[in-house]
Amino acid sequence: MLTLARLRMRNWMVYRGEHELALAPTTYAIVARHVEDRDRSNWLGKSSIPAAVDWALWGRLPHATRTKRSWISRGEKSGEIEIALSDGSRVVRQLGLRGSEKLWHFPADGRDASHQTDAQTAIVRAIGMSADDFVATCYFQQGQMARLINCRPQERLNLVSGWIRLEPLRACQDDASAALSGVASRREDRTRERESALADIRATLERFSWGSPEEGRTDLERFEAQLRESKKALDALRKESALRIERDQLEPHARRYLEIVEVGNRTAATLAQTPDMPESVLVDLRKCERDAVASKGVADADLEAKIRLTSGRFDGTCPLVGAQCPVRDFVTGARERNERARDDAEVAAEAASLSALNATKATALVVDAANRRLWVIADLERLRAEARRLKPVHDRWRELIADERSRGDAIEESRLNQQIEIDTRMAATARAALQTIETKQKTIEACDVTIANADAAAKIAAAGVAVFDRAQRVIAEGVMGDIEARANETLGSCGIELGIRIVWSREGEGFASACGACGQAFPASTKVRQCGRCGAERGPNMTNKLEIDLTDRSGCADDLGGGVLQLAASSWLRGDRGSEWGLAMLDEPFGQMDAANRRAFAGHLPAILRQSGFGQAFVIAHHSSVLDALPGRIEIESDGNGANRTSTVRVAT
């Protein structure tokens, strides 16, 4: 068992300087007196001693302090608490007006001390409980003896749940409840989505006067068939229209072909009537033309010579041989004879000119006739070439004329276009409606799957809620039953006529929502009274609400019942945690008890503390009946007033 072997205080509140207490494993009554007023014991430092132990272990400030450093004795720069435990380990915690708080833990085996966070971890490991567990079960502060009796039910439930470590189970229950809530929310969302999809399907069917989606598919098939027929008719009509357009486009070319054939025929006839002039005739004509032109040249030259002779301007050069005439004078003198020769030369020149002209004209006529024949032949060849090019066009045109199949017109084509537009719109509308219905049906199917999964998950979550709730209830009722038995045994051993009854859960309204045996969720109907899985009877709805009932209620009863109950809970808690801690600190636990109850409780307190697993205790009290009943005593003496008061402390017995 772990108790205090020594407590050293330096500048701790009213204890200025060094104060050290050597302690034994016994129950100490802490008393105080004022040097000037023996009847005065308040505000002299009694509560500061257990507060010093609490601060050393956990760093928790006393209630009387206003700031973190206000516990340091007035005028001093630092303070320190050291506790030596019965196993040889030590804890030192100190704080100065400047700087941070310092903590050391010195192990009993002489190993190196741990510091700060490591030291705090070592303290928790050595004591075997948390700071909250310590203050709830080992350090009963002034006015807190009846805390379990007078606190609010939820606060009491949370406190005890922490003692018996129900948080993991409660967290599991909360998780299961949250999962159940989430599943229910998802199911509700999917149910609304499913109903909305069904409403959309019904509205779509009503809008199209369909009794079912199958009727819609039948209508769609009919619209599509009508559309195909209309398009087929329009294609045929447009094909016939294309033939007419082709015929109209070919007609000018075909008629041009006919014209060419007709012109060609006339040209061929003309060519047939035009004689073909032999090449020899043309050669002869050209020779005659050349001879006539040459004769004309000779006659013209003779005429020119005769004209010169008659003009008297004969220069003596013979025009015939081009030599000097020997009889120039004779020639010049014979004018009459020369004039007659000139006249004859003129006649001869005119005749030669006419003959040359006629020969040229005859040649030109023959050449022209030959050229015209060539032109006719070339024109005829051109016409035949164009006729050959246009003949296929003419033949296609004749074919189109012979195969006239145009039964439609512009009105029919317009009607077919309108019908196609109507059929297309109707088919598209029906198709969109069916797609909407199909989408909504898929939504419904998905919602059905989600709802089914949600129902399955809800059963599991509800079962989890019930199982975790039942597990908490079973554990809590077992623990609280043990604590209740210990507390009543303690009260009975003291001869105090007071009983304690602890109730963890009570029946609520209605029936359980899930089977208490297997966790199977019950249906909403209250007529179902048996579990469908395990056959267990459906019990009432149980509500966790920790209640502590005393057989009598008064300030004294509350303090007695609360104190005994906390000691019993402390015994169970330290046993559950495996804690070796053996020091209890009770600050004025007898405040509201009458003299008889104080005597009875104080007389049995050492034994009660031993039964609760405490080998050492600090008990602060004012009544001599209590002080005389306790084996040990720590005495405090104060010599001042107000902020300047200073106390000393010693172990008297």
Q: What are the structure tokens assigned to 116, written together?
A: 């700060």
75: in domain: yes
- Whether 314 has a pLDDT exceeding 70, the answer reads no
Band (49; pLDDT cuts 50, 70, 90): very high
Residue 487 domain flag:
no
Residue 451 lies in a domain: no
- Counting the structural domains of the chain, the total is 1
Whether 289 is covered by a domain: the verdict is: no
Instruction: Identify residue 511 by its one-letter amino acid code.
Output: F
Residue 82 maps to a domain? yes
Q: Is the pLDDT of residue 42 over 50?
A: yes
Helix (H) or strand (E) holding 16: strand 15-22
Mean pLDDT of 203-216: 88
Nearest alpha carbon to residue 469 among 163, 169, 164: 169
- The encoded tokens of residue 298 equal 């000779």
Radius of gyration for the alpha carbons in the chain, expressed in angstroms and rounded: 71
Q: What is the pLDDT of residue 624?
A: 67
Read off the pLDDT of each residue in 507-532 and give the average, rounded to a whole number.
Answer: 65
Highest mean pLDDT among 251-255, 404-408, 462-466: 251-255
pLDDT tens figures, 574-620: 888 888 999 999 887 766 677 777 777 777 788 888 888 899 999 98
Q: Is residue 100 part of a domain?
A: yes
More confident residue, 439 or 330: 439
Structural domain containing residue 127: 4-163+494-499+551-651
The order of strands in the sheet holding 102-106 is 15-22, 4-12, 78-85, 90-96, 102-106, 114-115
Question: In angstroms, rounded to a whole number, what is the distance separating the alpha carbons of residues 620 and 57?
Answer: 20
Residues 623-648: tens digit of each pLDDT: 766 677 788 999 999 876 666 678 99
36 found inside a domain? yes
Mean pLDDT of 349-372: 77
Beta bridge pairs of residue 139: 585
Which of 146-155, 465-474, 488-497, 530-539 shows the lowest mean pLDDT across its residues? 530-539
pLDDT in tens, 255-309: 888 888 888 888 888 777 776 666 676 677 777 878 878 887 887 887 787 777 6
- What's the CATH number where 559 sits? 3.40.50.300
- For residues 605 and 630, what is the distance between their CA atoms, to the nearest angstrom? 8
Strands 647-651 and 632-638: antiparallel
pLDDT: which is higher, 313 or 458: 458
Q: Is residue 251 part of a domain?
A: no
Q: How confident is the model at residue 241 (pLDDT cuts 50, 70, 90)?
A: low
Q: How far is residue 64's CA from residue 48's CA, in Å, rounded to a whole number?
A: 9
* Side-chain half-sphere exposure of 431, counting CA atoms within 13 A: 10
Per-residue pLDDT tens over the stretch 4-37:
999 999 999 999 999 999 999 999 999 888 877 7
Structure token digits, residue 354: 């006419």
**Interval 98-128: pLDDT, tens:** 889 999 999 988 888 999 999 999 999 999 8
Q: Determine the Cα–Cα distance for residues 583 and 50; give it in Å rounded to an integer.
A: 10
Confirm if 321 and 305 have CB atoms less than 8 A apart: no
586 three-class SS: strand
- Which of 7, 1, 9, 3 has its CA nearest to residue 83? 7
**Residues 393-445: pLDDT tens digits?**
888 778 777 765 443 455 676 787 888 888 888 889 988 988 999 999 999 99
CA atoms of 446 and 158, how far apart (whole Å): 43
Number of other CB atoms surrounding residue 24 within 10 Å:
16
